[in-house]
Amino acid sequence: MTDPALVIAPAPGTPRCAPPTFDGTHGLWSVTRHADVRAILTDPAFRVPQAAPGAAGTLAWLRGAVARFSGPDRHPVRRAAAVATLTALDPDLLRRDAARLTAEELDRNRDRLDVSARLARGVPLRVLAARLGLTDPAAAVPAVAAVAAAYQPGAGPAATRRADDAVATLVAMAPPDPPEVLANRLGLLVQACDATAGLIGTGTRYALLLSPSVSTAALLAEVLRLDPPVRGTRRIAGTATGIGGQPIPAGATVLLRFDAANRDPAVFAAPDRFAPGRPALTFGAGPHRCPGERHALALALGVLEVLRERGLRIVAEPRHEPHPLLRVPTDLAVTPR
C-alpha cells in the first residue's frame, strides 16, 4: 500500500500558475491561477461559447438547445430543465446500480478486466440511461459515445454524421418530452460520458494503490483536484475587462485551466501532495457550475467501492486518450491479487 501522503506530479501538459498570457498560435488567453479562474467563472461578463440552433433530432439541434452552450437569455430555463431531471435521480440509487453492474462485470471477467473498456463509460451510462427512461440502456452507450466525440466545436464531417445518427437513436429511445427538456435530458448523458469515465479511470488507479483507510469519497475528491478528468473550459469576454492585471479585450477567448488552478501554491500548501479534503474547481463555479456533481460522484463511488472490495491490482500503468482538455485513461487492466 502507498502512503496516503504521496506526491503526484502534474499530468503532462499541465501549465504552471502564472498571470494570464496570450497564446498567439491558438488565438486565446490562457488563465491558470485559482483566483483568476474563479473570477472568470463567476463573472457574467464572461460567457460560454454559444451554439446556433439546428434541425430537430441532429447534433446541431442538441448543442443548440442544451444549457451547456446557451447564452444568458436561454440558459436559466434550460439549466432548470436539467436540474429538474437530476432532482428526480436519487444519487444513492445511482451508486447502488453502478455497484451492481460493476460486480456483474467482475463476475464475468474473473481473471482480468479492462476498467476503461468494460466499466468507465459503460456502467455510468447504462445506469443513467435506465434511470432517465431510455428503452435500451445498453444500446444507448455507443450512441452517447458517438455524440460525445463530436459534442465540442470542430468535429469533422464523418464524426458529425455519426453523431447525427446517434442523436436520432437516442431521441427514439427517450420518453417523449418538449424539445428543450428532451435535449437537456440527453445532454446529461453526453456530458457525463467522458468526464465520468475519466474520473473512474483515474480514480481506479489511485484507489488500488492507496491504503483502505482513505475513504473512496475522499479519494475521488482529491483525484478531482490533482488529476481532473476535465482539464479546462472556455469563456468569451463580453466586454473589455482585466483579469490578474492583464487587459482582456472584448470578444477574446479565454481558456481556464482547472488542472493548473487546482495546484495553485497561493491556495494549496504543498499542492502536489495527495491530501484529501481540499476543494477543487473541476466542477466549475458560478451560473454554469456543473449541476450533476453529486450524481457523477455517486456513479464513480459505486464502481470504485466494488473494485476496492474485490482486492484487485492494476496490471500496468494506463495510457490516456489523446485530447488536450480531457484525461481519460485507456487499457487500464486489473486482476485479482
Cα 156 to Cα 81: distance, rounded to the nearest angstrom: 30
Taking only the tens of pLDDT, the chain with its 337 residues reads 445 568 899 999 999 999 999 999 989 999 999 999 999 999 999 999 999 999 999 999 999 999 999 999 999 999 999 999 999 999 999 999 999 999 999 999 999 999 999 999 999 999 999 999 999 999 999 999 999 999 988 889 999 999 999 999 999 999 999 999 999 999 999 999 999 999 999 999 988 888 788 899 999 999 999 999 999 999 999 999 999 999 999 999 999 999 999 999 999 999 999 998 899 999 999 999 999 999 999 999 999 999 999 989 999 889 999 998 999 999 899 998 7
Residue 11 within a domain: no
pLDDT at 316: 85
Which pTM was predicted?
Answer: 0.95
Query: In whole angstroms, what separates CA 311 from the centre of its chain?
Result: 27
pLDDT at 210: 82
Residue 307 within a domain: yes
Residue 293 within a domain: yes
Give the CA distances from residue 195 to residues 57, 112, 227, 328, 335, in Å, rounded to whole numbers and listed in that order.
24, 24, 12, 8, 24
pLDDT at 1: 45
Which residues 6+ apart lie within 8 Å of 160 measured at CB? Answer: 59, 150
Beta-bridge partner residues of 235: 254
Residue 6 within a domain: no
- DSSP, collapsed to helix, strand or coil, labels residue 97 as helix
Phi and psi at residue 146, to the nearest 5°:
-65, -40
Residue 15 within a domain: no
Residue 7 within a domain: no
| Alpha helices (runs of H) in 33-74, residue ranges in sequence order | 34-41, 59-65
| 306: CATH | 1.10.630.10
Amino acid type, 118: R
Select from 131, 68, 80, 62 the least CA-distant residue to 299: 131
Residue 313 within a domain: yes
- 67 lies in which domain range? 21-336
pLDDT at 5: 65
Residue 224 within a domain: yes
Amino acid type, 144: V
Domain count across the chain: 1
